[in-house]
Structure 1
Amino acid sequence: MNLLLAAVLGIIFGLGAAGAVLVLRPARPRAAAALASVTDHTPVTGAAGDERVEDHRWPPPRMRTDLAAIGLPPALFRQRLVRTVIAAVAVPLIGAGLLAAVGMGGVLVPAAGLSAFAGLIAYQLTCAHLRAAANDARDEYRRGLATYLGLAAMRLSSGAGIESALRKAAAAGHGPVFAAIRAALDRAAILGQSPWDALADLGERVGVAAFEQLGATAGLAGESGARIGTSLADRARALRLARLAELETKANIATERMSLPVVALATSFLLLIGYPAITSVLTGL
């Protein structure tokens, strides 16, 4: 029985190690796939195209948007997710193996069920952490966009050209948001794309609708620097007001959450004080 249990555990560990090696082994990118990832307009066929199709199967689009918001490549996220799930699955199996080694049999089936449950929980927690981090990153994108639009409007009001104002405003800031804006503008210059379209593509990629609305607003303003400057200033003001309203809502929610423990504590204190009197009335003492 011990020999059979050891063989089963060995097979499980061997399959898990082989799967981990196959999943975590970095793939060498093809030149065509790398070029297509830069342009996103070049159709890729053949083996490189198959790799791109395979690469887009998982994570799903929603999760890819979250990954783009935090600047994490999907391949790296897959590696982290696989490591986390494998670690969660392996711990109960290792514990069952140790218990079986000291003579405690009958633990393999419960350990297998616990391993499956632990793997599912690890997967869900990792995805939930990704969603929370992406939401925080989108808040930073919206705040950074308001600052960026204010700087661009100031440049336009001083007489600078549209593209020059956009580039100088992007160069004036620091952090991942301004770095993403600079990368979008550089990519637009390489592909001959409008900067507004590039910013709209950035918003679509990271899931921030304010960038996409910016492209439509600037398109309606026309090519006049003064009108675009006014439009950008109004847009920046609207984003700041929306940000303040969101912060006020979060503060109110936090205040309501803090009031619940206070109410519970006050109720417990009143019950503690009134319990002797209620007991005396009920018992007639």
Structure 2
Amino acid sequence: MLNVQLTIAVVAGALVGLGVFLLVREASPASPALTPALRRLHHSAERAPARDVDGSQDLQWLTGVVRWLRPPHKELALLGRTPEQYALSLLLSALIGLAAPPVASIVLSAVGFELPVVVPVVVGLAIAAGAALLAHQDVLSKAKQARREFSRAVCTYLDLVALQLSAAHGPVQALERAAKVCDGWVFERIRESLRLAQLQMHSPWDELRDLAEQIGVPELGDVGSIMQSSGTEGAQVHETLRSRADSLRDQIRTDNLARAEAVTGRLDIPGAFLVFVLIGFVLYPFLARI
């Protein structure tokens, strides 16, 4: 019993020490990160995405893990995360899952219930793999939802650009003025892309196509392709923009109906089960008298 208490004390002390270390590390002022800002201002054709944030250089030790994990780059770019942050989230999830069974085994040993050593090891490995998979699926699920939101915002952006062109604004000015009308993270990403094109003397439609390819939203690339014909050939494209917005709106409506039908189909099973339960309640008095 003394060894068990000593083990619990050591583990508890290690956890408290780790918590104090993390608190001190987060509270200490960090040096400004100039590398991400310079990379965003002087990017090449294969530029680092705008998702690089301050402090991401602290996770450079995870570069080797990132190459092994092969993270979903488009989904991470859409969510504004780096591959190192993705790898860190998977590692933390796996470590928590791996540590849970040994801690539970120590607690059970303290109350007198001994478990074989192989049980917490095997269960910990299984939970660690499951926790890492859940973290990966969480990224994919959030990216899927964010991509749908981005597509709906692009539909609005198409209408706004068409209105700006109808008001006799130039193609570049129409893109910039339309992006300033609405708030939200989608329009912030568009404004940032247009601002980057202005600073680097690039055409805004090329920058929008690059952003669309980076985050996996082809609808935004359509805006760039349509506006390119207006900027280089002088074509009147406001009707084309309205038509593309209408078709995109119909596509979004169709996708929403498909998801609604899928959710309704999944509700059939619990609904049928509820019917059987109600039938059982109705028939039980008669069957009990037989």
| TM-score, normalised via structure 1 length | 0.75
Given that residues 62 and 87 in structure 2 are in contact (C-alpha distance below 8 angstroms), is that contact kept between their aligned partners in structure 1? no
In structure 2, do the counterparts of structure 1 residues 93 and 197 end up closer, same or farther at CA, with 3 Å as the change threshold? same
Q: Does 1:154 align with 2:157?
A: no
Q: How does 1:71-220 map to 2 (within 5 A)?
A: 71-101=80-110, 104-220=113-229
3-state DSSP of counterpart to 1:227: coil
TM-superposition CA deviations, 1:141-163 (whole Å, max 9, x none): 00110111111110000101111
Deviations 1:31-64 (A, max 9, x none): 66753355431899xxx9xx699376265252x2
Note if contact 2:41-2:200 (Cα within 8 Å) is conserved in structure 1.
no
CA RMSD for the aligned pairs?
4.0
- C-alpha change, 1:197 and 1:173, in structure 2 (3 Å) is same
CA 1:171/1:29 → structure 2, altered by over 3 Å: closer, same or farther? same
1:259 aligns with 2:262: no
- In the TM superposition, residue 247 of structure 1 has moved relative to its aligned partner by 1.4
Alpha-carbon distance change, 77 to 221 in structure 1, aligned in 2, over 3 angstroms: same
The residue identity in structure 2 corresponding to 1:121 is: G
Contact 1:59 1:74 in 2 (8 A): no
Q: Say if 1:85 and 1:119, in contact at 8 Å, map to a contact too.
A: yes
Amino acid at match of 1:57: R
What CA distance in whole angstroms lies between the structure 2 residues aligned with 1:217 and 1:125? 40
Counterpart CA distance in 2 for 1:165 and 1:52 is 43
Q: Partner amino acid for 2:80?
A: G
Amino acid at match of 1:156: L
Kindly tell me: are residues 222 and 203 of structure 1, through their superposed partners in 2, closer, same or farther at Cα, counting changes over 3 Å?
same
The CA distance in 2 between the partners of 1:197 and 1:98, in whole Å, is: 60
Which letter maps to 2:132?
Y
Q: 2:44 is aligned with what amino acid?
A: H
CA distance in 2, matches of 1:40, 1:53: 22
* In 1, Cα distance between equivalents of 2:258 and 2:79: 24
- CA 1:94 to 1:41, structure 2 compared with 1: closer, same or farther past 3 Å? same
Residue in 1 that maps onto 2:238:
229
Deviation at 1:224, TM superposition (A): 5.4
C-alpha separation in 2, matches of 1:93 and 1:52? 27
Candidates 40, 44, 49, aligned match of 1:41: 44
Structure 1 letter corresponding to 2:223: L
List runs of 5+ in structure 2 lacking aligned partners.
Answer: 48-56
> SS of the residue aligned with 1:107?
coil
Distance 1:107 1:29, change over 3 A: farther
| Residue identity in the other structure for 1:165 | A
Q: Distance in 1 between matches of 2:61 and 2:114?
A: 47
Aligned residue number for residue 50 of structure 2: none
Higher alpha-carbon deviation: 246-255 or 35-44: 35-44
1:117 and 1:140 mapped to 2: Cα distance?
35
Residue type matched to 2:43 in 1?
D
Q: How does 1:266-277 map to 2 (within 5 A)?
A: 266-270=275-279, 273=282
1:67 matched to 2:76? The reply is yes
* Secondary structure, counterpart of 1:185 in structure 2: helix
**Cα distance, 1:265 vs structure 2:** 2.8
Equivalent-residue separation in structure 2 for 1:216 and 1:67 (angstroms): 24
Which residue identity lines up with residue 123 of structure 2 in the other structure? L
Superposition pairs of residues 235-254 of structure 1, within 5 angstroms: 235-254=244-263
Cα distance in structure 1, aligned partners of 2:153 and 2:68:
30
The AA in structure 2 aligned to 1:108 is V
Query: What SS does the corresponding residue of 1:192 show, helix, strand or coil?
Result: coil
CA distance in 1, matches of 2:188, 2:233: 27
Count of residues paired in the alignment: 269
